[in-house]
Amino acid sequence: MKATTNSIILEVACRLLIPVLIVFGIYVLVHGEYSPGGGFQAGVVLALAVILNRVMEPADTKKGYWTFKIIALAGMGPVIYILTGLWSIPFGGNFLEYSLLPLAVHEAERHLYGILLIEVGVTVGVMATIISIFDSLGKVGDPDDHGSLL
Amino acid sequence: MTMAVFFSYVIFWLIALLYVSGFFGMMEHHHLVKKLMAMNLMQTAVILFFLVLGQKIGGVTPIAVPGLTDPDAYVNPLPQALMLTAIVVNLSTTGTALAFLIVIKKHWNTLDESEIMRRMDK
Amino acid sequence: MMAHIPVLLVLVPLLTALALPAVNWMMPRLTQIFLKSALLFNLALAVLAMRHVVTEGPWHYWLGNWAPPFGIEFVVDAMSGTVVLVTAGMAFVIALYARPFFKMDEAGLQARTLFYVLFTLMVTGVIGVAVAGDIFTLYVFIEIASISSYGLVAMGGRRAAFAAFRYLILGTVAATFYLLGTGLIFAMTGTLNMAQLSTLLPPMMGSPAILAALCFVMLGLGTKTAMVPLHAWLPDAHTYGPTPAIAFLATALLKAFAYGIYRFLYQVFGGHGQPVTAMALQILGWLAAAGILYGSVMAIAQKDFRRMLAYSTIAQISYIPLGIAIGTPAALAGAALQMISHSMSKGCLFMIKSGMHLKLHTTQISELRGMSVVMPFSSLALTISAFSMIGLPPTSGFFVKWQLVRGAAEAGFGWMMAVLVLSGLLNAVYFFRILENVFIRKPEPDVHSDQSHGPMTSAGPELPLPMLAAMMILAAGILAAGVGSGWLTEHIFSLISLAGGGL
């Protein structure tokens, strides 16, 4: 949390909101298959918590938040999804067959855990994507970048 | 058509109106952002069309109510799940289009389609 | 693991695309090796899948082991196996070619990684379009492939962003039409699985909803496969985009959507057996013939090599809907062979074009004089590709035309035979003009010798070795597909199913 911002209202509001958003995001993720919620919505809420931190910066800030690491994280999210799907293959199932996951619970409960794992992957991916979109808007471009879009 | 039949289909008429407005808006406007918004209108119309397909008279939201086990009492959840995917696809498309518009604005300094095409042909 | 190949065909490129930024961040030197070995592995899987289809028949794979209509299924049969094989092969060859191409670009290594991420995502999308067994899964993969291709086209520089935006608008409108058609089919039948639809739809083919669904789906897929009159996005996108991306776009992406047209018209909507679909196929044939003639005529009028290639693509890609419209086994074999042949020829031509741009610093046809002296291997590859486009034996392009003419003769469409012969002649006009410049004309006298003709006298290989290797692989492939087309027709293409009713 920064000590110097332009607007004290913004700072106080964000300080109150960000912890609530993080907890709410995780709540939405875990309750996704029992009530409205799930991976995409949780990812957006968690991304919002991080973006509010960026919004609190003063208007004339020179600090850029764009790094390449956020794209790496955005890739790793769906990788968790795919690895969960592939996890049941050595145990005799098809792709994404949750009933054959090697978890020590009843067979019907395995669907619950399988879906939770893939939703975690989706959440990480969506969160990193939205944060990267916001960060790249603030990226300072090179004046003579030869016309390359990258 | 009798009035009862007409009014039972009025939602489809409204969705068709939305779809055609989006399509017409895309052809009509010169400003690229307005074209993008009209495209979003078209996509929203298709999403609404799918959601209407699952409705039942007297159906409840497809979240399990304890004690209500009759599948006919719940609205069909399959179109809603499909449309979640379609909404995310629309998000990606809109995000990509806005990124293109930022680059176009930086380079050509205008977002008017006829102006850009005139300059590109030179 | 062998039993899971249909889903691995999609997952391997997807995992590559997602893991590539992380690999590049942690171990930058392994990026290229990771990418190329993953695409080579995918090619091996595609070959194994094709072998399974030839020996044991179509392959249905249920995700999560849920039976349709509750579950999603992936299907590999003869035609989709061909598309997957072409896609995996072109992806590997273009990945070989892309690295020296980017050394010339001033963007950094991380930015180049993002190009490869989008490229591999496009490969995933295209393979997914070929193996999808439900109409909504097909929509998802169509959009994955298309959005990646919008991003890739925009990477070609400043003017490319506007071309990419127009491509995006047209492509998304097409996808929205397709989704609306899917919605209408779902409303009438209640299922999304293609095999089930082929049994459920024939009784209701007369209803206006199914007719509207047919029109919407054909409009959507037709725009994406650049059929005349829905082709307007193609010339600009091909002229301004970066060459490796455009090479893949022009070859594999358009073929996958043409395959989608085949899937819908024959398996979902019932093929020539239904009167509505038979009329749709006839209209498809007219539009395809118009596209062939329009593309060939417009290509003659172009001065820029890239734009000429774009119009030539419009003409050549319309052979596939023409074969689909005729509908006899020979015509479908011709369409499938065209998928293979045109991919290799067009890919080779795009590689030559950017080799020209790198070496001679020009893309105008009139300035290609004397290229055979400076770039002998490229000129050889250019000759083989040009012969394949015109349709001269022993390249595969000749056998494509032969099968299509045979199919047209069997079905009684004499005018289509005339269109095919005429298109060969028109192709000959603009390709021989290029070949004349390359081989017969001498280079211009050295008015501006020292600056621009420096490369003409430099020693060493004419282009970086991976680029040359990729070109030669494709040129050899064109000859091999031509000579082996009989074997291909007998063993693989004869398994392509025609009418509806299960695969």
Q: Is the ipTM of this complex over 0.85?
A: yes
* Residues in A lying within 8 Å of C, measured between beta carbons: 68-69, 71-79, 82, 85-86, 89, 93-98, 146-150
Q: What is the DSSP letter of B110?
A: -
* Residues in C lying within 8 Å of A, measured between beta carbons: 1, 4, 7, 11, 14-15, 17-22, 24-25, 61-65, 105-108, 110-112, 114-115, 117, 154-158, 160-161
C333 within 8 A of C76, measured Cβ to Cβ = no
A neighbours by CB contacts (3+ pairs under 8 Å): B, C
Q: What is the pLDDT of residue C104?
A: 60
The closest of C324, C345, C344 to C333, measured between CA atoms, is: C324
* 3-state SS, residue B69: coil
pTM: 0.92
What pLDDT tens digit does each residue of chain C (503 aa) get?
788 899 999 999 999 999 999 998 888 888 888 999 999 999 999 999 998 988 888 888 898 888 887 888 999 988 889 999 999 999 999 988 887 777 665 555 666 788 899 999 999 999 999 999 899 999 999 999 999 999 999 887 778 889 999 999 999 999 999 999 999 999 999 889 998 898 888 888 888 999 999 999 999 999 999 988 889 899 988 888 888 888 888 889 999 999 999 998 988 888 888 888 889 999 999 999 999 999 999 988 888 888 888 999 999 999 999 999 988 888 888 899 999 999 999 999 888 887 777 777 776 777 777 777 778 888 888 889 999 988 888 888 899 999 899 989 988 888 888 999 999 899 888 888 888 888 877 766 544 443 444 444 445 566 778 888 888 888 888 888 888 888 888 877 777 766 543 33
* 3-state SS, residue A148: coil
C464 within 8 A of C97, measured Cβ to Cβ = no
Q: What is the mean pLDDT of residues A43-70?
A: 84
Chain A CA closest to residue C2: A89
Neighbours of A140 (CB within 10 A): 8
Cβ–Cβ gap B63/A149 under 8 Å? no
The number of angstroms, rounded, from the C-alpha of C134 to the middle of its chain's C-alpha atoms is: 22
Cβ–Cβ gap B116/C162 under 8 Å? yes
* 3-state SS, residue A63: coil
Q: What is the DSSP letter of C302?
A: -
Domain-located, residue A150: no
pLDDT exceeding 70 applies to what percent of chain A? 85
Cβ–Cβ gap A149/B103 under 8 Å? yes
* 3-state SS, residue C75: strand
Length of chain C: 503
CA distance C417 to C426: 14
Give the domain extent around B84.
3-121
Task: Using CB atoms, pick whichever of C136, C164, C187 lies closest to residue B82.
Answer: C136
The values of phi and psi at residue B102, to 5°, are -60, -45
Specify the range with the lowest mean pLDDT, choosing from A63-67, B32-36, C381-385, C445-449.
C445-449
B95 touches chain A (CB under 8 A): yes
B103 touches chain A (CB under 8 A): yes
Q: Which of B61, B91, B94, B96 has the most A C-beta neighbours within 10 Å, making it the best mutation to test the interface with A?
A: B91
CA distance C220 to C225: 9
Q: What is the pLDDT of residue A103?
A: 81
Domain-located, residue A68: yes
* Count of B-C CB contacts under 8 Å: 70
Give the domain extent around A34.
8-137
C neighbours by CB contacts (3+ pairs under 8 Å): A, B
**Confidence at B51, pLDDT banded by 50, 70, 90:** very high
CA distance C18 to C113: 11
Structurally, chain B folds into a number of domains equal to 1
> In B1-122, which residue ranges form alpha helices assigned H by DSSP?
3-8, 10-28, 32-53, 78-108, 113-121
Structurally, chain A folds into a number of domains equal to 1
The distance of B68 to chain C (nearest Cα, Å) reads 22
Domain-located, residue A1: no
Q: If you compute the radius of gyration of chain A from its CA atoms, what whole number of angstroms results? A: 19
CA distance B82 to A94: 22
Domain-located, residue A144: no
Domain-located, residue A120: yes
CA distance B50 to C131: 24
* CATH number of the domain residue B53 falls in: 1.10.287.3510
